[in-house]
Structure formats: C-alpha cells, structure tokens
Structure 1
Amino acid sequence: MNKFLAISIFVLSTLCTVAQVKKVIPTKPVSGSSSNASKTQDTKANSAVGGRNISITLTPYKNTWVYLGCYFGKNKTLSDSAYLNEKSYGVFKGKNKLTPGIYFIVSPQYAILFDILMDSKQQFSIVADTLKKEDAVITGSFENDLFKKYSEFSLVKGKATNDLKMAYSNAKTKADSLKIVNEMTAISKDVQAYQNNVIKQNPNSLLATLFNALKQPEAPPIPVVNGKPDSTYPFRYVKEHFWDDVNFNDDRLLRTPFFEPKIDNYFKNYVSPEPDSVYPEVKYMLLLARTGKEMYPYLLTKFTNKYINPEFMGQDKVFLKIFEDFYAKGDTTYLNPASRKTIIERAYSLMANQIGGQAPILDLTDTLGKTVPLYGIDAKFTFVAFWDPTCGHCKEEIPRVDSIYKAKWKALGVKVYSVNVNEPKIVEFKQFLAEKKISQDWTEVYQTKAARDAEQAANQPNYRQLYDMYKTPTFYLLDEKKRIIAKQLSLEQFDDVIAAKLKNK
C-alpha cells in the first residue's frame, strides 16, 4: 500500500464528522425538500424511476429541518433539506437527481453528523441516532452497502495501526521496531488488497472511483542504466502514473474532499513552474474533462483564477494560453457578462506585456511640459513605476524605490521612468517629489488631457491597458533594449533580478 493511502486509512469512513458547514444555511427548505412526508408516500416514491427520494429517520430531532450537504471541490455546500416530523422522520426529495459522490447529513445546528455515498439511483432510506452516528443504517443502496463494509474493515485495521504506532514509540530494541514496522506494512497491504478487490469486482462503483482517485504511485527504487544510477527515474515514474485510472470527465470526483487537493499537490510538487511546463498539463486536464458537465467548467474556472493573477512571475502566460485555446474559441458561455468582460479585457491587457516581449511605447509629458519617450531613455535597465500621489501604498513604496536607487541601482546603470497615473493631481505629484526629496534625475511624467483625448479619438489602447495597470503602484523592469525582464515583484525581488542579470553578463 502506498504511503498516501496508509496515512489516509480512514479517509472514506470518517471524513469530517466534526466539521462545520459555512453558516449560509437558511432555516427553511433547501432545493427540493419535503416536509411532514408520510412513509406511505415514501414507499410509492421509492418505486419511481426519476428524481431522488431519500427518507431519513434521525433521532432525537423532531419538528425541525435537517440538511443534506456535499463537497464541491474544496468547498462544502447544501444540496437539499428535509423537515423531520414528530417521529423524527422526513424525506430528501426532488424531481432531479443529485450528482453522485460523498455527501453528509447536517444537523439543525449546522454540524456535519456522518457521511453517506450518493448513488445513481437515489432511492434509499437512512435510520440513525445522533448518539451513535457510526451505527447509521442505510437500506436500498448498493453503494452504501459497499461503503459500510469497507468502513467496518478500515476501522478494525485503523485501530490495529494506532495500537502498533503506540507500541513503536515504546519499542526498546531495533528488532522490536522492525517487527512492528513489518506488521504495519502487512496491514497496509491488507487494506490495499481490499481496495483492489472492490475495484476489480465493482469497477463502475462510486467506491472504486474514489479508491482510484486516492491512489498515488509509489516511487520505485533508483535503477542503474549503463552503469550509472538514474536518480530522476522515480520522480518521472510517479509523475507519469499520477493520474492512472482517474477520469477527469467524471463529475462525481468534484463531490469528494480530496480530488482538488490532489490536483494542487500535482502542480506544486510535480510540475515545473515555467509557463511552458504548466500549460501542457492544464490543457491536458481540460481536454479530458471536456465532456464533464460540471467538471469542465469547474476546472476551467479554477485554472483561470489561478493564472490570471499567478503566484509566480510570468505564469500569466498560462492564462493567455487558456484564453486563446478555450475562451476565444467559444467557451465563454459558462461566464456571466461581468466575468466575460473581465476575462476578455484582462487577456488583451496581458498580451502587450509578456516577459521577454518589448515594452509598449510610452510618450508622456514631464513636469516641464516636454514629451519624453520611454524608448529615449538610454540605460542598462529602466525601472518603470506607475503610481498615484494620493495612494497610501505608493507613498510608502516610491521613497523605498528612491532609497534603493540612490544606494545601489544608480551605480548599476538603472534609470527610473516614473509615471503619475492620477493626472489631475499634478500639484500633489510635484509636492510629494519635493517633500520626499526624490532623486531629481528620475524621469517624472504623466499623460496630458489632450494626449488622452487624442488617444481615445483614435480608438487606441491607453497605457493602463497596455501595462495591465489595475493597481498602484505597478512596477516593470526593462533591459537595455526595453524588453520586459520582470514585473509585479517586490523591490527586493527586482533587486535580485538585476543582480542575476549582471552576473550572467
């Protein structure tokens, strides 16, 4: 059994019995709930082909609402509600079936009580007591029968593992420790064998799908090739087999708490952060998920949000590739008008300022009324600073830029092209420069109203769009040919980039 499954031996039997659902739950029906349903009605409904009809008897609750919740990626949400009558009986009922996956019963106090598997038929009954949640009885669901048997098995094996862990911590000899480790390994193999048997005997079951999604390849030993050890082979093997037996178009995986974390783990530990390494992985997943009614829009949204404002500089290129290969080809039907507008505008903004590309032209006016082109600045490095003299954060950062410029950058051949983005505040702009004694050899510029009007009349993009300037301050670092070599970093990171570039030269 691999280490991931060994650690997660209880993952399917005690997922979150003490967790809380976010308090967005209304004290009224949710979705297609029913109240004061009779057992006679329930029996008739259970014979129906369509929709869902899940009766529940949950003591000691009476005359109150209980809820059916589920996972949705990293989040939890409500799917249905049922009103329990004076006999603690109610029905989760609706015309449409729910997406199968791991669900949970939620108390009137919004605590998650216990998990169930939502099967494809959704015609079963639940009888439970909150004082003995682990003894809940589910009737009429083959998926939950499988789940119950595995839960009982894993609880026994889990208790044995915990006992062995205690014994290991108290072991006095190496022989004792080795014996305990061997026993724990044997238990892990038993659990793995049980899971493999479920997968073999019931390959289309939800439980088999969950076991497959939980798998993570175990790294093989380092092989010796032509007399030399291939130390990268174990990593490559795990990466190549990471998604074996996982179907990205299976919407049921979204109703688990571990599928999305597995994706995050993969990108964090097995994918190099360079955009050219990241995007093929993103595209691969999106294409495989294309037929997933819920999975595809979910992953498309996830990757869009992740790379539209990326963690690492330059990864916005991944967002641009997503835009070009998916959104630009018609996949904007998933978006509301506001989101569609934001994504399209951001894509066009980022196209003009990619790392390694030429910086957009800037021909702005200095404080003496003279036009000073950015491309007229002759320097090894040009630091472009877009800032607002009324912005609190700018008032902190611009003096810091000046300090590092005076102490270090000026001697390294850096020149500063400083842009006031709040054009009407020219007086405040000049006052701030004077009060803070900002270096007089900076190029201080802004866009005049006449220049802005002419730009708009010609239907040309403004510098805010060209430089993706949606916040202040915004900084760029250019090389001697005005190519973008860094953007949206801290001053310390910009300093590191300059040092690295000089060292390479």
Structure 2
Amino acid sequence: MKHLLFIILCIPILQLPAQKTTKPAANAATATSGYNINVTVAPFKKCWLYMGCYYGKYKNLVDSVFVNENGSGTFKGKEKLPGGIYFMVSPSHTLLFDFLMDNKQQFSIKADTTRQDAVVITGSDENSLFQEYTQHLATKVPHLQQLQKELKDAKTKQDSTRIQDELTKGNKELNDYRDQIAKEHPDAMLTLFFNSMKRPEVPAAPKLSNGSIDSLYPARYMKEHYWDDVPFNDDRLLRTPFFDPKVDEYYKYYVSPEPDSVIAEVNYMLLYARESKDMFKYLLGKFTDKYINPEIMGQDKVFVFLFNNYFSKGDTTWLNAKQKEYIFNRAYSLMANQIGEQGAQLDLTDTSGKASPLYGVKAPFTFLVFWDPHCGHCKEQVPKVDSAYEASWKAMGVKVYAVNTDEQLLKDGKDLDKAIQDWKVFIREHNLNGWVHVYQPPKQRQQEVASNKAGFRQLYDVFQTPTMYLLDDQKRIIAKKLSLEQFTDLMKAKLKK
C-alpha cells in the first residue's frame, strides 16, 4: 500500500479558503507589512477570485476575494506571504496567469482573460521583469512548439535536420535572453529561478590514457553540476512548478539506485535545506514517501536512515501524534530485515508440536514465507511456491521455512485446535511436502508481549500475507518481497556466480 507524502505535510490541493465578502480588521495589511494586492480581472464581476501558489508538485490556494461590480477587489493579509510563483484562479477554479510574490507585497494587477498578454502589474519591480519575460516568451514559444510538431511529423532526414537546427537556434536564443536578464539583474527572483531551471551543458568528452573517448564523462559531468547555483535553503524554489520535477529527474537518471548512494544524496540535500522554514520539511516528507515503501528492493534502507538521523532525533516537531506513531512503527518494522543483514532468529513450533528454529535449517538458501491458510492471496500464491520448489528450488538445495500467521493460532482451546486442523488439511491437500511448517503457540506469544520483545511480525515486517524472504547459508537476507520468478532468477545467478 502506498503511503502518500502528505500524510506528513497535509498540504491542501486547490482547497478553497472560507469565502467572505469582507475581511476582519485584524487581517488588514499596513503599508509596510503583510500583503495588499489590488486586482481587476476582466470580465469577472460580483464573483469570487482566488489566489494560489505552487508547492512542489501541488497547487495550494491561499486567499480569496469577492470582486465588485467593476471587477475590482483586494487580497489582504496581516502576515506576508512566502515568496515564489503565485497564480490567479477564476471562479470556476481554472488557472488564469502567474505572477511573482517577493518581499514587497503591495502592488496592483490588471488583466483581461481574453488576452493572455494583457497582464499589467504595477508597484512591483520583480513582476515588471517577470511580465517582460513572459511577453517575450509569448512571441517565441508558439514557433518553437510548431517546430516540435513539425519535427515529429518530418518525412525525411533532411527535413528533420533542418527543423532540429531551427529548434536548437530558437532554444539558444531563449537561453541567451535568460542569461542577459540574469547578468543585468543578478539579485532578481527571476534570476534565481533561471539558475535553478538550468540543465548543465556538457562539454566535449576528454580522451582516456588509451586514446579512446571517456564515454562516462557526460553522465558524470551532469551529476556533478546538476545542482550548480541551486540553494536548497531558499524556500522560494519550493513555490515553483519546476523544482520538484527537477528533483525527480535527478534521482531517476543520475543517482545510482543502490541505497547507500541514495542516502548520500538525500542527506546532502536535507543538511543543506535544514535552515529553511519549509524546504527541509518538504524534502524530508518527499523522501519519506518515496522510500518508506520503495519500488526497488532494499531502498527501504533509505527510510531507516531518515528515521535514525532525523525523525528519532526530534527534528520533526510538526508531526501530530498519529503521524509520529505511523512513522515510528514503520521504522521499527524495517530495522531488523534490511538486505544484507542477519535475519532474526525464529524459535517456532512445527505441526507435530516440536521446536523447529529457523537457524536449525541448514541449506545454501532458505526461503522464508509467512502465510495464512485462510488468506485468499495465500491460497493462490503458496501452491505456486511449491511448484517453484518442485521445479527447480529443491535441486538447488533450497529449504522452505513456512510460518503460519493465522491469528486463531494465538487462541487456546477449540479455536486453536480448529486452526491447526485447517492448517494441516491445507498442507496435505496441496502436497506441501519437504517444507518446515511452523507456527507460534499462544503461550510463547504471551511471553513475548509480557517481556516487551518484538514478535515475528515486527521482525520481518509481516503486515500482509504472503510475505516472502530469501536467506543465504548464514541466514543473511539477500532478497525480500520479490515475485517468485525474481527469487528463482536471483538464486540461479548466485549459484552461477
């Protein structure tokens, strides 16, 4: 189950502020504090307009105003708004146009929705520069978009080359225009955004000592310079539509998926952003969401690192009790079953009532499966495990240690007797022969609880069934929660190696 990032941050997405025709006097902005933004947006009259901002990959509405019969109204607030790219939203909740929010938050906006280039902002130097830039884009981007379409539909190599050359020239002109703005206005918010949007231009690859071209140089250069001039401690970057996708691109294409490599990158960003008000919170939430239940096996080690180095040290005071409980419980369920670590000992009881510990199984591979005879998915998957076992695993020396997780086994009396009987019937009917079948008796579980010891569910993160692990001859965890085909391929590869 995917646990979304904003279980932590709880950012509203296009959630409307409470509508009101007048604002309390306490919210009125003075000339030197808070915000006071006069708006007139044709053709809207006697209706609500909304102001919002980007927040990572989300959009968050921050205020509303009821415009009069002339289409005019004023957004007011006692506290200044965080800097970044904001937008105006229509009564039907469509985005109309973007503008900048800098430290000077007393200005006026006049716009006409029938003309995208007819946005006039007075009283804000940052927005004057931004409007100049957007008007320039309006003259260039349509042609570049048309060239992109033509390139896609090109019939000949000659046409493709010609169109690509035009595209390259047009993009260079845009980049040169941005560079000129940055040179003339080095401290402008727009310059910050330009620098943060840039992708490194890779120079020609050098030759190696043997005379061949260094083919790895472009990727290495991109990674080393990807974040040049990007200050992770500047919260304004968070309120843009381009920062979050750039982070995703970096981890997808330029960071090795190996957990230790990811940890180094994540930790660098978080330490850099730590002094910021919002960026640290956002990045920690983003990385927690990504690695708490990762798509790539073993990357939950990144989440365990985040827990040990940030969550458990009290850096996340904004979490409420429920959120903190979830984060802590998830971390405790992953700590003992990391790839490469020794699997926890299991001293369980077999179908005959005899002790049959996990570490008593001697084999080059031990396949550990937690299952419940009454679980629908287990009824489908466990026989497939046996098919794989009979087809090839047995010949590779694999031993299957199967743990029955049925909660009825924790109850004494008739419930326990029936649960054991159902278990044995399933084993017999599906010919699960040659396996080590075990369960945890009620008294053993009671003793664990009384002594505050972790049970097998926490030790092996067993909160859904079936849950499967592959252990080596020393009972180190070498794989978990893969498909049966992936488990088979991994064993074959290790034996071949």
TM-score of the alignment, normalized to the shorter chain, above 0.5 = yes
Structure 2 equivalent of residue 319 of structure 1: 303
1:451 deviation in Å?
0.5
1:375 deviation in Å?
0.7
How far apart, CA to CA, are the structure 2 residues paired with 1:290 and 1:432?
Answer: 55
Structure 2 equivalent of residue 229 of structure 1: 213
Structure 2 equivalent of residue 10 of structure 1: none
Query: Which residue, 85, 109, 120 being the options, matches 2:68?
Result: 85
Any residues of structure 2 matched to 1:9-24 within 5 Å, and which? Answer: 24=15
1:423 deviation in Å?
3.8
Structure 2 equivalent of residue 357 of structure 1: 341
Structure 2 equivalent of residue 469 of structure 1: 462
Contact 2:29 2:77 in 1 (8 A): no
Structure 2 equivalent of residue 126 of structure 1: 109
Query: Which residue, 243, 256, 271 being the options, matches 1:259?
Result: 243
CA 1:85–1:501 in 2, change beyond 3 Å: closer, same or farther? same
Query: Which residue, 440, 446, 452 being the options, matches 2:439?
Result: 446
How far apart, CA to CA, are the structure 2 residues paired with 1:142 and 1:477?
Answer: 62
Query: Which residue, 69, 74, 86 being the options, matches 1:103?
Result: 86
CA 1:90–1:426 in 2, change beyond 3 Å: closer, same or farther? farther
Letter in 1 for 2:202: A
CA 1:440–1:182 in 2, change beyond 3 Å: closer, same or farther? closer
Contact 1:219 1:238 in 2 (8 A): yes
Any residues of structure 2 matched to 1:190-205 within 5 Å, and which? Answer: 190-205=173-188
How far apart, CA to CA, are the structure 1 residues paired with 2:407 and 2:425?
Answer: 14
Structure 1 equivalent of residue 329 of structure 2: 345
Query: Which residue, 461, 473, 480 being the options, matches 1:480?
Result: 473
Query: Which residue, 424, 427, 439 being the options, matches 1:433?
Result: 427
- 2:320 is the alignment partner of 1:336: yes
How far apart, CA to CA, are the structure 2 residues paired with 1:391 and 1:63?
Answer: 59
How far apart, CA to CA, are the structure 2 residues paired with 1:46 and 1:462?
Answer: 58
Structure 1 equivalent of residue 275 of structure 2: 291
CA 1:173–1:417 in 2, change beyond 3 Å: closer, same or farther? closer
Could you tell me the TM-score, scaled by structure 2's length? 0.89
Query: Which residue, 218, 241, 261 being the options, matches 1:277?
Result: 261
1:295 deviation in Å?
0.1
How far apart, CA to CA, are the structure 1 residues paired with 2:149 and 2:477?
Answer: 57
How far apart, CA to CA, are the structure 1 residues paired with 2:403 and 2:378?
Answer: 12
Deviations 1:233-269 (A, max 9, x none): 1111111000000000111111111111111110110
How far apart, CA to CA, are the structure 2 residues paired with 1:418 and 1:181?
Answer: 60
Structure 2 equivalent of residue 249 of structure 1: 233
- Give the secondary structure class of the aligned counterpart of 1:310: coil
Gaps of 5+ in 2: 1-11, 409-418
- 2:390 is the alignment partner of 1:406: yes
- Give the secondary structure class of the aligned counterpart of 1:455: helix
Letter in 2 for 1:216: R
Structure 2 equivalent of residue 13 of structure 1: none
Query: Which residue, 439, 455, 459 being the options, matches 2:448?
Result: 455
Structure 2 equivalent of residue 58 of structure 1: 41
Deviations 1:261-298 (A, max 9, x none): 11111011001111111111111100110111000011
CA 1:454–1:123 in 2, change beyond 3 Å: closer, same or farther? same
Structure 2 equivalent of residue 381 of structure 1: 365
Letter in 2 for 1:426: I
Structure 2 equivalent of residue 147 of structure 1: 130
Query: Which residue, 493, 496, 499 being the options, matches 2:489?
Result: 496
CA 1:373–1:164 in 2, change beyond 3 Å: closer, same or farther? closer
1:501 deviation in Å?
0.9
How far apart, CA to CA, are the structure 2 residues paired with 1:169 and 1:391?
Answer: 51
Contact 1:423 1:446 in 2 (8 A): no
1:104 deviation in Å?
1.2
How far apart, CA to CA, are the structure 2 residues paired with 1:168 and 1:491?
Answer: 44
1:374 deviation in Å?
0.6
Contact 2:14 2:60 in 1 (8 A): no
Letter in 1 for 2:230: V
How far apart, CA to CA, are the structure 2 residues paired with 1:358 and 1:166?
Answer: 56
- Give the secondary structure class of the aligned counterpart of 1:440: coil
Deviations 1:391-439 (A, max 9, x none): 222222112111111222112111111111114133332333333x141
How far apart, CA to CA, are the structure 1 residues paired with 2:160 and 2:259?
Answer: 46
Contact 1:103 1:115 in 2 (8 A): yes
Letter in 2 for 1:60: P
- Give the secondary structure class of the aligned counterpart of 2:399: strand
Letter in 1 for 2:217: Y
CA 1:248–1:447 in 2, change beyond 3 Å: closer, same or farther? same
Structure 1 equivalent of residue 194 of structure 2: 211
Letter in 2 for 1:209: L
Contact 2:13 2:58 in 1 (8 A): no
- Give the secondary structure class of the aligned counterpart of 1:35: coil
1:182 deviation in Å?
4.3
Letter in 2 for 1:152: Q
Letter in 1 for 2:42: T
- Give the secondary structure class of the aligned counterpart of 1:228: coil
CA 1:160–1:456 in 2, change beyond 3 Å: closer, same or farther? closer
Contact 1:36 1:90 in 2 (8 A): no
Aligned residues: 472
CA 1:457–1:306 in 2, change beyond 3 Å: closer, same or farther? same
Query: Which residue, 355, 363, 380 being the options, matches 1:396?
Result: 380
CA 1:353–1:91 in 2, change beyond 3 Å: closer, same or farther? same
Letter in 2 for 1:257: P
CA 1:102–1:495 in 2, change beyond 3 Å: closer, same or farther? same
Letter in 2 for 1:25: L
Any residues of structure 2 matched to 1:15-54 within 5 Å, and which? Answer: 24-25=15-16, 28-29=18-19, 35=21, 48-54=31-37
CA 1:276–1:149 in 2, change beyond 3 Å: closer, same or farther? same
Contact 1:423 1:447 in 2 (8 A): no
How far apart, CA to CA, are the structure 1 residues paired with 2:86 and 2:464?
Answer: 41
Letter in 2 for 1:110: H
Any residues of structure 2 matched to 1:416-427 within 5 Å, and which? Answer: 416-424=400-408, 425-427=419-421
- 2:232 is the alignment partner of 1:238: no
CA 1:163–1:77 in 2, change beyond 3 Å: closer, same or farther? closer
User: Does 270-279 or 158-167 show the bigger shift?
Assistant: 158-167
1:384 deviation in Å?
0.7
How far apart, CA to CA, are the structure 2 residues paired with 1:163 and 1:446?
Answer: 67
Deviations 1:19-45 (A, max 9, x none): xx966436x42xxxx6368xxx9xxx7
